[in-house]
Amino acid sequence: MSVKRERLIETFRHLVSIDAPSFDERRMADVLKGELGRLGFIVEEDEGGKAYGGTAGNVYGFRKGDLPGPPLLFSTHMDTVEPAKGKRALLGEDGRITSDGTTVLGADCMSGTAALLEALEELREEERPCRDLELVFFIGEEKHLKGSAVFDFSRVRAQESYILDLTGPVGTAAYQAPTLVNFEIEVEGRAAHAGLSPETGIHAIAIAARAVAQMKLGHVGEDMTVNIGAIHGGGANSNIVPERCRLIGEVRSYSHEQAMEQTRQIEELFQEEAGKARGKSRMTFEVPIHAYCTPEDHSSVRRFRRACECLGLSGKLVKTFGGSDESNLSLHGIPGLVLASAMELVHSCQEYTEVSELSRLTELLKLMMQDKD
Ligand SMILES: [Zn+2]
């Protein structure tokens, strides 16, 4: 195995050995700040973690290059989903890297991070001319993009972004993702003794049940999904007509407007059913992920495809129905792509990466960083 390949594996192994659950990314932030500093970046950490009681902020780095043009922005996230403490990367003879089966591996997002660091290292060793670069390592991505939600994008000068946070073969990229609305509905009825005077009560669970029964769940049309994720109602006693019922759910759609319209219709449906029974219904919601669609003629797509062509990779563009920090970057005027980043079966203890894919990703990043157009 080549020296570079061994170093790439070692970097990956080291990064995943660092515990970095969401909002406890302190050690990871320190390691990455050290690495960026060593690679000639000006490094800053914001106070993003404070808003969430976290131990670290988002890490931003800038390095002036030799090639003209605005900087290119590359980004990953520092946090890992649980179970993620004490992760160990085991390299099999077939070149597949897994955890020991008791934790996730952390290839999400350390594959992309390791490839990024190796690409920078090799470009420096080979003394290749390089673009101005901006790197951002976000906190709290796995908690609905909390880090990028509070990042100050006004400092960013890049006009295009590449997030390394997608499953699938290296050489594919996502150009479109949905809006996600998380809602909570509180149905309020009236408590009464279930045996002595049930007719004086207003049954909150029955109201919620009637409304849910009328909802279309799962795929609602081609580009939208709706789900009710949990329902809690009533108290400890079976002899009380339940006064309250709480539901949580979500709407996803490639169209932001349609997601908002669907949410409004769900709110109306519950209000209508509550009204019929003289109860009340209140909806609250948040929109942690905003839909984006990067056009095919955007510079990020063209740059990605040029690099893929050099390496004989497909350069295929896909849609995703999951979230990534790209949503917040696009929302702040820095559109781009989410690149497949050598990670599979993420968010499970079977998560893995492949050495060949890590190397391919490194090569792809090197080409993009040297791209003149
Ligand atoms: Zn991720």
pLDDT given for residue 301 in this prediction: 98
Q: Assess whether 257 and 350 both reside in one domain.
A: no
| pLDDT higher than 80, residue 337 | yes
Number of folded domains that form the chain: 2
- Look up residue 277 and give its two tokens: 């029974």
Q: Assess whether 200 and 342 both reside in one domain.
A: no
Tell me how far the alpha carbon of residue 96 lies from the centroid of ligand 1, in angstroms: 19
Give CA–CA dist 96/111, Å, rounded: 12
Q: Assess whether 145 and 46 both reside in one domain.
A: yes
Q: Residue range 214-238: average pLDDT?
A: 93
CA atoms within 13 A on the CB side of 286: 7
Tell me how far the alpha carbon of residue 319 lies from the centroid of ligand 1, in angstroms: 16
Q: Assess whether 56 and 82 both reside in one domain.
A: yes
Q: Residues 121-149: pLDDT tens digits?
A: 999 999 999 999 999 999 999 999 999 99
pLDDT given for residue 229 in this prediction: 97
Tell me how far the alpha carbon of residue 141 lies from the centroid of ligand 1, in angstroms: 7
Tell me how far the alpha carbon of residue 79 lies from the centroid of ligand 1, in angstroms: 8
Q: Which domain holds residue 226?
A: 179-289
Task: Select from 270, 289, 308 the last residue of a domain.
Answer: 289
Q: What is the residue-wise DSSP string for 58-83?
A: -EEEEE--SS-SSPEEEEEE--BPSS
Give CA–CA dist 78/162, Å, rounded: 15
**CA dist 97 → 175, 207, 255, 267, 339 (Å):** 28, 51, 38, 46, 20
Q: Please give the backbone phi and psi of residue 51, each rounded to the nearest 5 degrees, phi first.
A: -60, -20
Instruction: Identify residue 275 by its one-letter amino acid code.
Output: G
The answer to whether 263 touches 285, Cβ cutoff 8 Å, is: yes
Tell me how far the alpha carbon of residue 189 lies from the centroid of ligand 1, in angstroms: 41
List CB contacts of 73: < 8 A, sequence separation 6 or more. 133, 134, 135, 136, 156, 158, 160, 161, 162, 329, 334, 336
Q: Assess whether 133 and 20 both reside in one domain.
A: yes
Tell me how far the alpha carbon of residue 45 lies from the centroid of ligand 1, in angstroms: 20
Q: Residues 63-120: pLDDT tens digits?
A: 999 999 999 999 999 999 999 999 999 999 999 999 999 999 999 999 999 999 999 9
- Look up residue 45 and give its two tokens: 């950490």
| pLDDT higher than 90, residue 372 | no
Give CA–CA dist 5/338, Å, rounded: 24
Q: Assess whether 281 and 234 both reside in one domain.
A: yes
Q: Assess whether 279 and 322 both reside in one domain.
A: no
Secondary structure of residue 289 in the 3-state scheme: strand
- Look up residue 232 and give its two tokens: 């809690």
Give CA–CA dist 290/292, Å, rounded: 7
Q: Residues 305-323: pLDDT tens digits?
A: 999 999 999 999 999 988 8
pLDDT band at 3 (very low <50, low <70, confident <90, very high): confident
Q: Assess whether 33 and 168 both reside in one domain.
A: yes
Q: What is the CATH number of the domain that holds 226?
A: 3.30.70.360
Q: Assess whether 170 and 317 both reside in one domain.
A: yes
Q: Residue range 324-334: average pLDDT?
A: 95
Q: Assess whether 219 and 301 both reside in one domain.
A: no
Tell me how far the alpha carbon of residue 309 lies from the centroid of ligand 1, in angstroms: 26
Total Cβ atoms within 10 A of residue 257: 10
| pLDDT higher than 80, residue 1 | no
Task: Select from 289, 314, 331 the last residue of a domain.
Answer: 289
Task: Select from 289, 316, 344 the last residue of a domain.
Answer: 289
Q: Assess whether 339 and 242 both reside in one domain.
A: no
Q: Assess whether 13 and 118 both reside in one domain.
A: yes
Q: Residue range 349-364: average pLDDT?
A: 97
Give the pairing type, strands 96-98 and 352-354: antiparallel
pLDDT given for residue 34 in this prediction: 98
Tell me how far the alpha carbon of residue 320 lies from the centroid of ligand 1, in angstroms: 13
Give CA–CA dist 296/302, Å, rounded: 8
List CB contacts of 66: < 8 A, sequence separation 6 or more. 129, 130
Q: What is the CATH number of the domain that holds 316?
A: 3.40.630.10
Tell me how far the alpha carbon of residue 241 lies from the centroid of ligand 1, in angstroms: 44
pLDDT given for residue 49 in this prediction: 96
Give CA–CA dist 149/57, Å, rounded: 12
- Mean pLDDT of the residues in the chain: 96
